[in-house]
Every structure is written in C-alpha cells, then in structure tokens.
Amino acid sequence: MKFSRLHRSLLASMLFASTFFACASAQPDQRATGTSTGASTSATAAVERNPARLAHWEEVEAFIDEMTHKHGFTRAQLQNTLRKTRHNARAVQLMQPAPPGQARSWQAYRARFVEPVRINAGVAFWDRHAQALSRAEQEYGVPPEIIVGILGVETVYGQQTGKFRVMDVLATLAFDYPDAPNQEARKRYFRGELENTLLLARESAIDPFALYGSYAGAIGWPQFMPGSIRQYAVDFDGDGKIDLRNSAVDAIGSIANFLVQHGWKTGQPLVFPAIVDEQSGKGWQSFIGQGLEAKFSLTELEAGGVVLPLAPPPGLAYGLIDLQNGAEPTEYWLGTNNFFAITKYNRSFFYAMSVIDLGRAVRAARAG
C-alpha cells in the first residue's frame, strides 16, 4: 500500500506516542517496553525522522548530560532506563487546564470528600493507628484529624494510590507537558521530579519502574512526589527504611513532618468564619488572591470591611479565603498559617478546607 507524504507525516506523529523515549543516540531495536517486535524498530525510526519532535530528543539528551554531571550516572545507565520509559498520553490529557470561565463550586468539591465512605474508613483507620497518630501529635504538634483528613482525601487510607507507572508519567510531563501559559515552568518542575525519582531509586536500591502512583507521579498512602519523599519522608515505624507505599505509620509521620517543615505551629487554630461587607466600599477585595500565606492583622481585615462573627486571637496573622460556589454566594473564612501549611500539600483552598472538614467529621463520628 502506498502512502502520500501527508499520510506518512501523520503516521509518524501517531507513532510518537508509543515510542517517545527511545533515545535518539541508541539503537532503536534495543528499546524495552515489555515486548520485543520488529515493529518497534520501524516505529522508532519514523519518530526520529519527524522534525516536529526533534526538540524533545534534544531535551532528553540535555537531561541525560545533566544527570551524568550532577549525580554520577553513566550515559549508558540513563539511556537504558529511558529506553524503557513510555509516553503516557493519558497523563497529558489529565494535565490539560480547565476550560476558561468554568464555574467552581466549593460545595460540590467538598461533597466528593466529606462523605460516608471516607468518614467510616477514617474512623477505622484512626482506631487501627491511634498510637502512631498520638505519637505524631506529641512529636510534631499536628492533630490526628489533620493527618486523617489528608490520608482520606488523598487515597481513602491507602485504597487508591494510583496505577500509573511513575517513570512514564514524569518523563512524559517533563518533556511533553501540554500547551499552557506556564508550560516551561511545569516542564522544569517535572524534570526535577524525574531527577528525584532516579535518585530515590538509586538511594533505596529499588527498580524505578516498580513505583506506581497518580497521573502526576505522586506515590503511596500520602501521595508524596519523589522530591518530597527524599526531603520530608521519615521512618516513623522504626524498621530501618522509609516506605510510603506499604507503611501507614511511615505515612503518618511523614505527613506530620511535611506540615511542620511548611510552617505548621503547635496549638495554632486553623480557620474562622468571615463575612465581607460588599456594600461598604472599604476594599476587602484587596485581601483576595494574596498567595498561600497569612499576612494580615485583624485590625487591617476589619478596616477593609471583613466582619468576624467569632473572635479570632488578635496576635496572629490571617489570610482571607474565598470558597466560590458557582451561582451561589461565595463562602469566606480567615485562615492562619496552619491552614496555609496544608495548602503547601496541595495548592488549593478547596483542598485544605476539605481536609479540615473531613478530619472533623471523622473525629465526630469516632466520638459518637
């Protein structure tokens, strides 16, 4: 069968998805993907002839150079590893930004996580690991309900840790992140996480391809990125190794350590309800969108038209949290630095409030 030049170009583009990481400098028939067929040779050759993808190969080669110079890997090691890495189109699809103008609903988001399955599973988890949770509170100052809330939102207490091969999704996002205004910054971030994955595997003497996780490369019970595992994870069960994939106790201690390293203060409250006086013209809008940080005094907030039904402690800094509800009125809260420490886990007000609400619901169910 004969193909036009256009058809050949389209065929090469389609073949790219299954052969993205066969290194340009390697022999194409040495690529390992779980099966070995003659088709892989012709497919790789087609990709290498596709000029639209040449930049990707240059980036992969630059990454290999950097890893050999910084960390002492050999080119053969990395080329062999990257030949086994597969492009994951699903990860690219899931990273696509939401359509502009799409309404966000806090109540709909909250309902996904603060619900009977997670609450009941949280009670069982807390009962089973009460001693480790208590020890984490004593050593780090993080209450059990916050750790329980994070594990419930992230993986339903280890039930949903992800089925994506971490090497595949991180390499895909490192070199083929979807078009977006922050594309280059996101590619740099995922290249850093790919680097950390290779280092983590070497340090832990594990096969990097044995790591499975989310479509963004998050791993284990607490869904730590590889860089966070290397920097914040702890051996909380005392067995001589850190294992966030199989040890709930390591996950408990690691979450507590992560929060402390990101600003958690023992005994500090979290959130207080707030009302904005939209008719006052006092400029409360200036408190919105000021980053993941508590930076305003109560005096400043009240002068700007923020009304406080309760009386938060006056000596702390606060941030104004806006939880949008689509066509319904926005919900407002004041958050302390402990609230914003949770947003360092996932950069979302919705996420942090869901963690808090789920933890409170589990605590109430357990007490009742």
What is 155-219 written as a DSSP string?
Answer: HTTTT----EEHHHHHHHHHHHPPS-TTHHHHHHHHHHHHHHHHHHHHHHT--GGG-EE-TT--B
Q: Give a yes or no: residue 277 inside a domain.
A: no
Determine the length of the chain.
368
Q: Give a yes or no: residue 2 inside a domain.
A: yes
Q: What is the token pair recorded at 310?
A: 């309760």
pLDDT for res 25: 34
Q: Give a yes or no: residue 327 inside a domain.
A: no
Q: Give a yes or no: residue 282 inside a domain.
A: no
Helices (H), the chain: 5-19, 38-48, 54-71, 75-83, 89-94, 106-113, 116-128, 130-140, 144-155, 166-176, 183-204, 226-232, 248-261, 298-303, 337-343, 349-367
Q: Give a yes or no: residue 104 inside a domain.
A: no
Task: Tell me what the pLDDT averaged over the chain comes to.
Answer: 85
- Residue 145 known to be catalytic: no
Q: Give a yes or no: residue 56 inside a domain.
A: yes
Q: What is the token pair recorded at 239?
A: 């067995």
Find where tokens 């040449």 sit. Answer: 54
Q: How confident is the model at residue 99 (pLDDT cuts 50, 70, 90)?
A: confident
Phi, psi values for residue 366, rounded to 5°: -70, -40
pLDDT for res 43: 32
- Does position 212 have pLDDT exceeding 50, yes or no? yes
Among the options 137, 154, 193, 195, which is catalytic? 154
Residue 18 CA to residue 15 CA, distance in Å, equals 6
Q: Which domain holds residue 25?
A: 1-31+40-78
pLDDT in tens, 339-364: 999 999 999 999 999 999 999 999 99
Q: How many folded domains does the chain comprise?
A: 1
SS3 53: helix
CB neighbour burial string for 96-118, b if at least 16 within 10 angstroms, e if fewer: eeeeeeeeeebeebbeebbeeeb
Helices (H), 233-274: 248-261
pLDDT in tens, 172-202: 999 999 988 899 999 999 999 999 999 999 9
Q: Give a yes or no: residue 145 inside a domain.
A: no
pLDDT for res 56: 56
Q: Give a yes or no: residue 105 inside a domain.
A: no
Q: What is the token pair recorded at 237?
A: 């069960």
83: left (phi over 0), alpha (psi -120 to 50) or beta: alpha
- Does position 38 have pLDDT exceeding 50, yes or no? no
Q: What is the token pair recorded at 258?
A: 């992560």
